[in-house]
């Protein structure tokens, strides 16, 4: 990610809750519970039973770990198991690199690429890696006049004066595919391959930014890579501009190859670009990203109040991951949704003080999935608006946890639906986590088994919003519920002695106002800090 457009926005006041109980040792369960994660439709045990639904489980983030500084994620090669990223040098110029997933064995791909005009002294950066992992699409600042080479607007991800090049993953050969001067345009950005590696899509700059067109004007280009003349070249170029004088940032082809996933201020959504699928044949646009900004004036009309970009399918094509600001959120985090735009929810919480993922203000951007482990994501995150400082992270996700029951009331009487979810990570309730759940005054209960790896004292730390409450029950023993503002001193902790083995666990959340969140961490015996409870220690039930 090299082109953040998301300023700092004020966030809501958050709160932390903690509870205390006597430290009596609780023996482990005598009989293990089933670890089945497929849930069937349930019916309420309350007197006024409600029709319920089995809901698909969604991924949640289990860890966000720093990989390195000054690294903008671009791809991950299936052929070489190398990450591909962009780095700014001491000369302030960007170049593309490859390295092992732990950052070792770094090699520059573009440092010696000699292009007409600037030679080796211009910006260049990787955009995407082919599905077979053998090729990289690279943006290269080419020949131009006026501004000096290395101008900010020519950085990869901004696109001015850039052309698209095709390069082998080892950097041994490179071929120029576009020529913005010949095409009488102004640059290119965000090129990506189709699943077969035979077509590419990119955004082409046709007009510089103006007060009325703050991101400039762009077109979508699709072309076939041909080797008929020996060196790769582009043929059959298709140009699409669903609406004139708009911003289009392309990311990838749909799985069937008929559409392009992109972000755009199409339909007059200036400063609040959305995720769309553009039909290649017709140019028709279908919006995917949610329209669920909180109901206050600043959040609804403020610049970047609902800004969405960097959208990619998961490796199994069952979900789309994307970066988003929302309302008064702090910076930009990752979200996920189904390919039709439903079931959108936040995936990371790196800008939230209450979250164990908190990294301070930041703007997530480009990312890539590990082709050998789809639950691992290589991601870039700017720590300021101009991306003068940029870090890369490895994010791990998982599906699993405890049986989660959603109730439309605070008394847990009317069951709406169930799915498997991990409450021992960050969970946010704005927007509401499932369809038809009220925006406030509802209940959520997680039930199942918790496995203590060893005997001893376990400390639980529960965070929630100040107007809601949480309580925990272990083997039927309820720990008292409490609510305490995050910044208030002297927040108590919950410590209980557990025998090694499995224990019945139940958590109850009662929402007391619009929105809200919860997170539960534990500190195991002998541990210095509190962490997420691993999914391996949880089972639904």
User: Residues 418-447: pLDDT tens digits?
Assistant: 989 888 766 778 778 888 889 889 999 999
Structural domain includes residue 491: yes
Lowest mean pLDDT among 65-69, 228-232, 482-486: 482-486
DSSP code at position 464: E
Short-list 510, 357, 506, CA closest to 441: 510
Question: Has residue 490 got a pLDDT over 90?
Answer: no
Structural domain includes residue 30: yes
Three-class HEC string of 343-406? CCEECCCCCCCCCCCCCCCCEEEEEEEECCEEEEEEEEEECCCCCCCEEEEEEEEECCCEEEEE
On whether the CB atoms of residues 264 and 248 are closer than 8 A, the answer is yes
State pLDDT tens for residues 197-242.
999 999 999 998 888 888 899 999 999 999 988 899 999 999 999 9
DSSP code at position 51: B
Give the span between the Cα atoms of 127 and 380, in whole angstroms.
13
More confident residue, 345 or 312: 312
Question: Has residue 55 got a pLDDT over 90?
Answer: no
On whether the CB atoms of residues 441 and 432 are closer than 8 A, the answer is no
Say how many domains are in the chain. 1
Which of 10-24, 56-70, 74-88: highest mean pLDDT? 74-88
Q: What are phi and psi of 152, to 5 degrees?
A: -60, -40
Instruction: Say what the pLDDT of residue 284 is.
Output: 97
Structural domain includes residue 10: no
Structural domain includes residue 466: yes
Q: Which residues pair with 129 in a beta bridge?
A: 136
Question: Has residue 73 got a pLDDT over 90?
Answer: yes
Structural domain includes residue 465: yes
Q: What is the mean pLDDT of residues 313-335?
A: 88
Residue 12 — pLDDT band, cuts 50, 70, 90? very low
Give the span between the Cα atoms of 108 and 373, in whole angstroms.
25
Instruction: Say what the pLDDT of residue 305 is.
Output: 78
Q: What is the mean pLDDT of residues 470-480?
A: 81
Bond preceding residue 255 cis, omega within 30 of 0 = no
- DSSP symbols for 157-208: TT-BTEEEEEEETTSS-EEE---TTTTT--EEEEEEE-TTSSEEEEEEEEE-
Instruction: Say what the pLDDT of residue 37 is.
Output: 30
Q: What are phi and psi of 500, to 5 degrees?
A: -60, 140
Instruction: Say what the pLDDT of residue 26 is.
Output: 44
Lowest mean pLDDT among 113-122, 341-350, 373-382: 341-350
State pLDDT tens for residues 353-378.
777 788 888 899 899 999 999 999 99
316: exposed, middle or buried (C-beta count within 10 Å: 0-12, 13-18, 19+)?
exposed
DSSP code at position 501: E
Three-state secondary-structure class, residue 483: coil
Beta strand spans in 194-338 (E): 199-207, 217-226, 233-240, 248-253, 259-264, 274-279, 285-287, 308-313, 320-324, 333-337
Mean of all residue pLDDT scores within the chain: 83
More confident residue, 152 or 256: 256
On whether the CB atoms of residues 511 and 453 are closer than 8 A, the answer is no
On whether the CB atoms of residues 537 and 450 are closer than 8 A, the answer is yes
Q: What is the mean pLDDT of residues 446-458?
A: 95
Q: Which residues pair with 279 in a beta bridge?
A: 259
Q: What are phi and psi of 297, to 5 degrees?
A: -60, -45
Q: What is the mean pLDDT of residues 376-405?
A: 90
State pLDDT tens for residues 405-418.
999 999 999 999 99
On whether the CB atoms of residues 64 and 357 are closer than 8 A, the answer is yes
Residue 306 — pLDDT band, cuts 50, 70, 90? confident
Q: What are phi and psi of 299, to 5 degrees?
A: -65, -35
Structural domain includes residue 479: yes
On whether the CB atoms of residues 7 and 303 are closer than 8 A, the answer is yes
Structural domain includes residue 511: yes
Question: Has residue 468 got a pLDDT over 50?
Answer: yes
Structural domain includes residue 481: yes
pTM over 0.85: no
Range of the domain at 495: 15-59+400-540
Give the span between the Cα atoms of 257 and 65, in whole angstroms.
34
Residue 9 — pLDDT band, cuts 50, 70, 90? very low
Give the span between the Cα atoms of 262 and 285, in whole angstroms.
10
More confident residue, 476 or 430: 476
Sorted by sequence, the CB contacts under 8 Å of residue 337 that are 6+ apart come out as: 288, 289, 290, 319, 320, 322, 343, 344, 345
Lowest mean pLDDT among 32-46, 80-94, 195-209, 471-485: 32-46
Instruction: Say what the pLDDT of residue 329 is.
Output: 59
Q: What is the CATH number of the domain that holds 435?
A: 2.60.120.380
Give the span between the Cα atoms of 407 and 376, in whole angstroms.
32
Which of 32-41, 240-249, 296-305: highest mean pLDDT? 240-249
Question: Has residue 16 got a pLDDT over 50?
Answer: no
Instruction: Say what the pLDDT of residue 239 is.
Output: 97
| Cα angle for residues 103, 85, 325 (degrees, 5° grid) | 110
Q: What is the mean pLDDT of residues 34-49?
A: 32
Question: Has residue 46 got a pLDDT over 50?
Answer: no
Instruction: Say what the pLDDT of residue 295 is.
Output: 55
Instruction: Say what the pLDDT of residue 5 is.
Output: 37
Residue 351 — pLDDT band, cuts 50, 70, 90? confident
């Amino acid at each position: 990610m090299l082109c953040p457009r998301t300023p700092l926005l004020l966030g809501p006041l958050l709160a932390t809750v903690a509870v205390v109980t006597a430290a009596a040792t609780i023996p482990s369960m005598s009989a293990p519970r089933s670890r089945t994660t497929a849930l069937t439709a349930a019916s309420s045990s309350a007197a006024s039973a409600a029709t319920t639904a089995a809901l698909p489980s969604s991924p949640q983030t289990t860890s966000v770990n720093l990989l390195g500084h000054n690294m903008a994620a671009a791809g991950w090669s299936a052929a070489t198991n190398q990450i591909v990223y962009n780095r700014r040098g001491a000369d302030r110029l960007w170049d593309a690199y490859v390295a092992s997933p732990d950052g070792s064995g770094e090699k520059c791909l573009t440092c010696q690429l000699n292009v007409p005009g600037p030679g080796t002294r211009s910006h260049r950066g990787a955009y995407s890696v082919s599905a077979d992992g053998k090729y990289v699409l690279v943006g290269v600042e080419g020949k131009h006049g006026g501004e000096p080479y290395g101008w900010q607007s020519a950085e990869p991800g901004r696109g001015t004066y850039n052309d698209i090049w095709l390069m082998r993953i080892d950097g041994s050969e490179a071929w120029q595919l576009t020529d913005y001067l010949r095409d009488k345009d102004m640059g290119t950005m965000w090129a990506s391959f189709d699943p077969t590696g035979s077509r590419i899509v990119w955004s082409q700059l046709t007009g510089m930014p103006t007060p009325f067109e703050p991101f400039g004007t762009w077109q979508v280009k699709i072309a076939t890579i041909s080797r008929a003349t020996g060196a790769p070249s582009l043929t059959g170029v298709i140009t699409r501009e669903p609406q004139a004088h708009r911003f289009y940032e392309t990311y990838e082809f749909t799985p069937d190859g008929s559409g392009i996933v992109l972000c755009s201020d199409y339909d007059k959504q200036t400063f609040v670009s959305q995720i769309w699928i553009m039909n290649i044949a017709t140019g028709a646009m279908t919006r995917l990203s949610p329209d669920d900004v909180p109901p206050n004036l600043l959040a609804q009309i403020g610049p970047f109040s609902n800004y969405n970009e960097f959208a990619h399918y998961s490796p199994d094509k069952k979900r789309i991951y994307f970066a988003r600001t929302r309302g008064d959120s702090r910076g930009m985090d990752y979200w996920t949704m189904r390919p039709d735009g439903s079931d959108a929810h936040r995936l990371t919480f790196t800008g939230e003080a209450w979250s164990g993922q908190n990294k301070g203000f930041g703007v997530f951007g480009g990312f890539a999935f590990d082709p050998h482990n789809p639950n691992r994501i290589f991601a870039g995150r700017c720590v300021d608006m101009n991306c003068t400082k940029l870090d890369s992270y490895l994010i791990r996700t998982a599906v699993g946890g405890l049986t989660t029951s959603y109730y439309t009331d605070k008394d847990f009487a009317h069951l709406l639906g169930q799915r498997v979810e991990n409450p021992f990570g960050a969970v946010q309730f704005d927007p509401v986590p499932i369809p038809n759940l009220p925006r406030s005054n509802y209940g959520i209960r997680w039930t199942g088994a918790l496995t203590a790896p060893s005997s001893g004292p376990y400390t639980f730390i529960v965070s929630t919003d100040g107007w809601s409450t949480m309580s925990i029950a272990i083997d039927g023993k309820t720990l008292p519920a409490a609510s305490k503002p995050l910044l208030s001193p002297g927040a108590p902790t919950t410590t209980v002695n557990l025998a090694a083995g499995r224990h019945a666990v139940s958590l109850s959340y009662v929402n007391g106002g619009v929105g809200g969140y919860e997170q539960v961490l534990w500190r195991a015996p002998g541990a210095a800090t509190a962490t997420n409870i691993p999914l391996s220690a949880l089972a639904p039930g």
